[in-house]
Amino acid sequence: MIRWTHGLINRLVKLADAAFLILATMVTAAWLGHPMLAQTVFLGLLGIVVYIQVLAVAGLYRVERYRPGLRQVADIVFGMVVAGIAVGFAYHAFLVDPTGGLGWVLTWIAVSTAAVLAGRFTLVLWGVSLADRNAVLLRQVAIVGLADRVPEVLRALNGAPPGLYRVAGIFLDDAAGGGGDGEMPDRIDGVPVIGTVDRLFGFVHTSPVDVIIVALPWESTSRINAMIDRLHRLAADVVVPFEKDAFNPRFAEFAVVAGMTSLRVHYQPLKGSLGVLKRVEDIVVAATALLLTAPILLLAAIAIRLDSPGPIVFRQERIGFNNKPFTIYKLRTFSFDPTDDGSLGTKRDDPRVTRVGAILRRLSIDELPQLVNVLNGDMSVVGPRPHVPNMQVSGRQYYDVVREYAARYRVKPGITGWGQINGMRGGIDTVEKASRGVRLDLHYIENWSIWFDLRIMFLTVVRGLAGRDVF
């Protein structure tokens, strides 16, 4: 299910502004009958780009500002004045016949301002009102930290415009409810205390969380760092509100949540319109690949059935998005053993691999049923490879070997990935290889684009389906 985000709403408002500005440019050109159509189009596009960039840089494309009142009018007028100056300069600098230029520019500014205002006070306000009624703009918030720090965060959230934030629950940093010797409270200022922070990791499976606010004192930097590490695996914006005069970072990414200036220490990747684009890509690629490879899957299934006893499709629990378990599908390539939990992975010349299984694994045909996982929404075509819950490296849990490992779960796992085309096929049998794999996965998450995915898919077909590391 596609979840609306504030970023997606802001992009739609930008698109609406651009559409009304294009309409205003066409009306101005038709009204005044300007003979230079190409220059008119150039001026209109210049005005649109300048207007949108000015509002974006000034931080005026925010859901909190799309409300009736003078503030929204002032935002639009401010942007149009700057855009009008740019258009006026370009008109006199580049047009061959600048006669009547001032009148054209002033008319464009007036018509454009009226068009954008009409758009904001009809389409945008209607859309925001509809979104409010359906709680589309509502961001689910979880507060983690100490009990005595929570009320200040709640006051800030309560002071935000209605319909933007809802506190799903409070999760205290320890069982004592804030570091004291008392019992954990049931509620704080009317908001339920779900439990300790450990409860949050299961809570997000049934109640999605968009923002996690860390309510810890800035003087306890080690405690904040430990909390940030624990929250690595969750696909949510994690913010730490500033305390006045307590922290003055030289390099930081700032975020504003309910009016609180915060340091964004993690961000939720692939949300809003990016998430929509990624899901469309997955459905189109997976459905097409299933149709093209159906004859291969049929022949492979017959070969598995004739070669050894056991099921054709191998099912196993893996860890997926937001640390949530799911069942992965693969063609069976091992001798059937219901007690094998997969924690030891696969070794080169593994005696458990069947004759047919060895061929399927060498050609990566055994991975094709995961296209069904993609269509089900458990996986993506491209992403970090999913591992079993108790994956081990050199006799130790992967979680313990590589600290950043859990951050891979902030996106859906993939059939192929940046790591797989960079030498991470085959077994992960050393700490060095495990660390390198996590670094490659995090690079993919932090630099995702549709073109990056297409590049990985192409390289997977060209050089990733077979080779010495595939066994």
Per-residue pLDDT tens digits for 161-176: 777 888 999 999 864 4
Three-state DSSP class for residue 349: coil
Handedness of CA 355, 357, 361, 363 (dihedral sign): positive
Do 202 and 226 form a contact (C-beta atoms < 8 A)?
no
Last residue of a domain, one of 107, 133, 159: 133
Q: In the listed set 266, 287, 311, which residue is the last one of a domain according to the structure?
A: 266
Partners of 144 in the β-ladder: 171, 214
Bigger pLDDT: 308 vs 130: 308
DSSP 312: S
Residues 16 and 77 in one domain: yes
Domain that holds residue 199: 139-266
Q: What is the mean pLDDT of residues 52-64?
A: 83
Distance CA 25, CA 107 (A): 10
Report d(CA 388, CA 41) in Å as an integer: 57
Q: Are residues 323 and 341 in the same domain?
A: yes
Q: Are residues 40 and 89 in the same domain?
A: yes
What is the token pair recorded at 241? 């509100």
Domain-embedded: residue 1: no
Provide mean pLDDT across the span 260-271: 76
**What is the chain's mean pLDDT, rounded?**
81
The candidate with the shortest Cα–Cα distance to 165, out of 138, 134, 191, is 138
Q: Do residues 86 and 195 share a domain?
A: no
pTM beyond cutoff 0.85? no
* Among 192-201, 211-220, 457-466, the least confident range: 457-466
Tell me the pLDDT tens digit for each residue of 298-351: 999 999 988 888 888 988 889 899 888 999 999 988 887 766 655 555 666 667
- Strand pairing class (191-196; 187-188): antiparallel
Whether 37 and 183 map to the same domain: the answer is no
pLDDT of res. 134: 60
One domain, residues 245 and 335: no
Q: Which two tokens mark 326?
A: 């799911």
Backbone angles phi, psi at 171, to 5 degrees: -130, 115
Residue 469 within any structural domain of the chain: no
Kind and range of the H or E element at 283?
A: helix 273-307
Q: Among residues 63, 105, 61, which one has the least CA distance to residue 84?
A: 105
* pLDDT score for 96: 46
Model confidence pLDDT, tens digit, residues 24-39: 888 877 776 655 566 6
If asked whether residues 118 and 214 sit together in one domain, one would say no
Domain shared by 105 and 150, yes or no: no
* pLDDT of the residue at 456: 92
- For residue 415, pLDDT over 60 is answered with yes
> Residue 471 domain-assigned?
no
Residue 306, domain member (yes or no): yes
CATH of the domain at 149: 3.40.50.720
Band of pLDDT at residue 180, cut at 50, 70 and 90: very low
Would you place residue 403 in the very low, low, confident or very high pLDDT band (cuts 50, 70, 90)?
Answer: confident
96, part of any domain: yes
Residue 315 covered by a domain: yes
Q: What is the rounded distance in angstroms from the CA atom of residue 395 to the CA atom of residue 272? A: 40
The first and second tokens of residue 288, run together, are: 């097409």
Beta strands 165-172 and 139-145 are parallel
Asked if residue 470 is part of any domain, the answer here is no
Are 129 and 202 in a shared domain? no
Greatest mean pLDDT among 3-7, 172-176, 402-406 lies in 402-406
pLDDT at site 34:
55
Beta bridge partners of residue 166, listed in sequence order: 140
Task: Single out the residue in 266, 293, 311 at which a domain terminates.
Answer: 266
Beta bridge partners of 331: 313
Assess if residue 198 is contained within a domain: yes
pLDDT at 349 (0 to 100):
63
Same structural domain for residues 116 and 259?
Answer: no
Residues 412 and 290 in one domain: yes
Contact 365, 289 (CB under 8 A): no
- Both 319 and 368 in one domain: the answer is yes
Q: How many whole angstroms from its chain centre is CA 70?
A: 33
The distance from CA 290 to its chain's CA centroid, rounded to whole angstroms, is 26
What is the total count of domains within the chain? 3
% of the chain beyond a pLDDT of 70: 81
